[in-house]
Structure 1
Amino acid sequence: MKRWGESPFESLLPPETVLGQMEMAVIVCDRFSNVIYGNAFAADLFGYGEEYVGHSVLSLSIAEEDHDQATELARHVLKGGVWEGTFSNVRGDGSTVYTRAHAVPLRHPSGAIDGIVIFAREALRSNQRDQDRYGLLDRIGERLSASLELEQTLRRVADTLVPQFADHVFIDLFAGDRLFRRVSRHAAGWAPPPGTWAEVDEPIFYPAEHFCAKAMNRRDAVLVEDIVQHRFSAPTESSQRLGDDMGITSVIAAPLLARGELLGVMSLALSNLSKRPDPHYDGFDRDLVGAIASRVALAIDNAMLFEEERETALAFQKNLLPGDLPPKLDGLKIAWRYEPAKPLESHGHGVQTQVGGDWYDVIPLSAGRVGIVIGDVEGRGARAAAIMGQLRAALRAFAQDDKSPADILRKLDEWVRTMERPDRPRYGDETVRPPLVSCTYFVYDAWSRTLSFANAGHDPPLLIVDGEVSDLELNSKGAMLGVRGPGVGGDILFNEETCELKPGATFILYTDGLIERRPKEDGDYYTREQSRQMLRDAVAAVARRDVESIADAAYQAVPGDIDDDAAIVVVRTSAEELAVEQRAFSAEPIMVSEARRMAAETFAAWGMVDDKAELACLLVSEVVTNVVLHAASPAPTRELVLEGAQVFAFDETPWDLGDLHRREPVSKEFRLRLRRGAESIWVEVFDSDMRLPRIRSAGETDEGGRGLYLVDQLATRWGSRPTKDGKAVWFELPLR
Structure 2
Amino acid sequence: MSAEVDKLLHGLVQGIRPQVGERADALLGRLRDELPDFWEHEDLAVLALHEITGHLTTFLDLLDGQVAMDEVEPPELAMEVSRECARRGLPLSGLLRAYRIGHMILLRQMQAEAARLTDDTQLVSDIVTRMTDSGFAYVDIGSEQVVTAYQEERERRLRQRLAMTDAAGRRIGTTLDITRTAEELVEVGTEDFADLVAVDLLDSAVSETPEPHHRAPDDALLRRVALGTPGAVQDCPAGVPAHRYPEGSMQERALRSGQPVLRIGVEPGGSAPWEPEAGDSVLLLPLQARGAVLGLVQLFRGHSAAPFDHDDLSLGQEIAARAAVSIDNARRYTHERLTALTLQRSLLPQRPVRSAVVETAARYLPSGGRAGLGGDWYDVIPLSGARVALVVGDVAGRGLEAAAAMGRLRMAVRAFADIDLMPDELLTHLDDVVIRLSREEGRNEGGLSATCLYAVYDASTRTCSLASAGHVLPALATASRPDASSGSVAKSVGFLDIPMGPPLGVGGLPFETAQFDVPEGSLLAFYTDGLIGSGASGETGSRAVLREHLAAAPESLDAVCDGLLDALVPDQPVDDTTVLVARTRALDPRHISVLDVPSDPAAVSRARRFAADRLEEWGLEDLSFATELIVSELVTNAVRYGRSPIQLRMILQASLTCEVSDASSTAPHLRRARTFDEGGRGLLLVAQMADRWGTRHSRDGKVIWAEQPIPREDDGSRGGVQAVPGVDLTITVPTTPSPLPEVTGGAAHGRYGTPLRRR
Aligned counterpart for 2:581 among listed residues 556, 559, 570:
570
Deviation digits for residues 597-645 of structure 1 (CA, Å, limit 9, x no counterpart): 222222233232x3234322332222222222335xxx7xxxxxxxxxx
1:621-700 alignment, distance < 5 Å: 621-631=632-642, 668-677=644-653, 679-700=654-675
Structure 2 unmatched runs, 5+ = 1-65, 80-146, 205-211, 480-489, 712-759
Equivalent position SS for 2:411: helix
Deviation digits for residues 374-424 of structure 1 (CA, Å, limit 9, x no counterpart): 111222233323322222222222222212111111222233223336887
1:495-574 alignment, distance < 5 Å: 495-517=512-534, 526-541=537-552, 543-558=553-568, 559-574=570-585
2:324 paired with 1:324: no
More strand by share: 1
Equivalent position SS for 1:414: helix
1:254-333 alignment, distance < 5 Å: 254-269=285-300, 278=305, 284-326=311-353, 328-333=354-359
- Post-superposition shift, 1:259? 3.3
User: Cα gap change, 1:544/1:218 in structure 2, threshold over 3 Å: closer, same or farther?
Assistant: closer
Distance 2:627 2:685 in 1: 11
2:472 paired with 1:449: no
More helix by share: 2
Equivalent position SS for 2:668: coil
Aligned counterpart for 1:722 among listed residues 697, 700, 713:
697
1:296-375 alignment, distance < 5 Å: 296-326=323-353, 328-342=354-368, 344=369, 351-352=370-371, 354-375=372-393
Query: Aligned-residue CA RMSD in angstroms?
Result: 3.8
Distance 1:244 1:204 in 2: 17
User: Cα gap change, 1:157/1:411 in structure 2, threshold over 3 Å: closer, same or farther?
Assistant: same
**Number of equivalences:** 550
- Post-superposition shift, 1:144? 2.8
Distance 1:286 1:564 in 2: 42
- Post-superposition shift, 1:132? 8.4
* 8 Å Cα contact 2:656/2:708 also seen in 1: yes
Matched with 1:94 is none
User: Cα gap change, 1:422/1:291 in structure 2, threshold over 3 Å: closer, same or farther?
Assistant: farther
* 8 Å Cα contact 1:443/1:452 also seen in 2: yes
2:365 paired with 1:385: no
Matched with 2:16 is none
Distance 1:566 1:340 in 2: 6
Query: Letter of the aligned partner of 1:457 in structure 2?
Result: G
Distance 1:199 1:120 in 2: 49
* 8 Å Cα contact 1:421/1:433 also seen in 2: no
- Post-superposition shift, 1:322? 3.3
* 8 Å Cα contact 1:250/1:280 also seen in 2: yes
2:262 paired with 1:231: no
Matched with 2:127 is none
Of residues 398-407 and 248-257 in structure 1, the stretch that sits farther from structure 2 once superposed is 248-257
1:50-65 alignment, distance < 5 Å: none
* 8 Å Cα contact 2:287/2:321 also seen in 1: yes
- Post-superposition shift, 1:714? 1.4
* 8 Å Cα contact 2:422/2:697 also seen in 1: no
Deviation digits for residues 142-189 of structure 1 (CA, Å, limit 9, x no counterpart): 133423343442343344445774445232225264322141434587
Deviation digits for residues 197-246 of structure 1 (CA, Å, limit 9, x no counterpart): 9976633221233231132245333244434xx21345xxxxx8x84499
Equivalent position SS for 2:221: strand
Matched with 1:154 is 182
Deviation digits for residues 64-114 of structure 1 (CA, Å, limit 9, x no counterpart): xxxxxxxxxxxxxxxxxxxxxxxxxxxxxxxxxxxxxxxxxxxxxxxxxxx
Distance 1:198 1:605 in 2: 68
Distance 2:301 2:73 in 1: 40
Distance 1:576 1:630 in 2: 31
User: Cα gap change, 1:208/1:126 in structure 2, threshold over 3 Å: closer, same or farther?
Assistant: same
2:490 paired with 1:478: no
Matched with 1:656 is none
- Post-superposition shift, 1:681? 1.4
Query: Letter of the aligned partner of 1:671 in structure 2?
Result: Q
2:244 paired with 1:205: yes
Query: Letter of the aligned partner of 2:560 in structure 1?
Result: I
Structure 1 unmatched runs, 5+ = 1-13, 25-40, 42-117, 235-239, 345-350, 426-430, 485-490, 521-525, 636-667
2:222 paired with 1:180: yes
Q: TM-score, normalised by structure 2?
A: 0.65
Distance 1:132 1:613 in 2: 92
* 8 Å Cα contact 1:453/1:498 also seen in 2: yes
Q: TM-score, normalised by structure 1?
A: 0.67
Distance 1:281 1:432 in 2: 54
User: Cα gap change, 1:414/1:125 in structure 2, threshold over 3 Å: closer, same or farther?
Assistant: closer
Aligned counterpart for 1:410 among listed residues 405, 408, 428:
428
Query: Letter of the aligned partner of 1:220 in structure 2?
Result: Q
* 8 Å Cα contact 1:418/1:434 also seen in 2: no
Query: Letter of the aligned partner of 1:183 in structure 2?
Result: V
User: Cα gap change, 1:252/1:432 in structure 2, threshold over 3 Å: closer, same or farther?
Assistant: closer
User: Cα gap change, 1:131/1:551 in structure 2, threshold over 3 Å: closer, same or farther?
Assistant: farther
Query: Letter of the aligned partner of 2:355 in structure 1?
Result: L
Matched with 1:139 is 167
Distance 2:148 2:301 in 1: 37
* 8 Å Cα contact 1:198/1:204 also seen in 2: no
* 8 Å Cα contact 2:265/2:279 also seen in 1: no
Deviation digits for residues 636-672 of structure 1 (CA, Å, limit 9, x no counterpart): xxxxxxxxxxxxxxxxxxxxxxxxxxxxxxxx44211
- Post-superposition shift, 1:277? 6.9
Matched with 1:32 is none
* 8 Å Cα contact 1:367/1:731 also seen in 2: no
User: Cα gap change, 1:438/1:674 in structure 2, threshold over 3 Å: closer, same or farther?
Assistant: same
Query: Letter of the aligned partner of 2:432 in structure 1?
Result: E
Deviation digits for residues 681-700 of structure 1 (CA, Å, limit 9, x no counterpart): 11111122332122343344
2:258 paired with 1:219: yes
Equivalent position SS for 1:556: helix
Identity %: 33
Matched with 2:475 is 462
Distance 1:725 1:423 in 2: 39
2:469 paired with 1:493: no
* 8 Å Cα contact 2:183/2:233 also seen in 1: no
* 8 Å Cα contact 2:424/2:513 also seen in 1: yes
Query: Letter of the aligned partner of 1:333 in structure 2?
Result: E
Distance 2:386 2:557 in 1: 21
Matched with 2:597 is 585
* 8 Å Cα contact 1:365/1:400 also seen in 2: yes
* 8 Å Cα contact 1:224/1:252 also seen in 2: yes
Query: Letter of the aligned partner of 2:349 in structure 1?
Result: P
Aligned counterpart for 1:439 among listed residues 449, 452, 458:
452
User: Cα gap change, 1:706/1:575 in structure 2, threshold over 3 Å: closer, same or farther?
Assistant: closer
Query: Letter of the aligned partner of 1:141 in structure 2?
Result: G
Distance 1:459 1:564 in 2: 15
Query: Letter of the aligned partner of 1:528 in structure 2?
Result: E
Distance 1:198 1:445 in 2: 54
Distance 2:341 2:329 in 1: 18
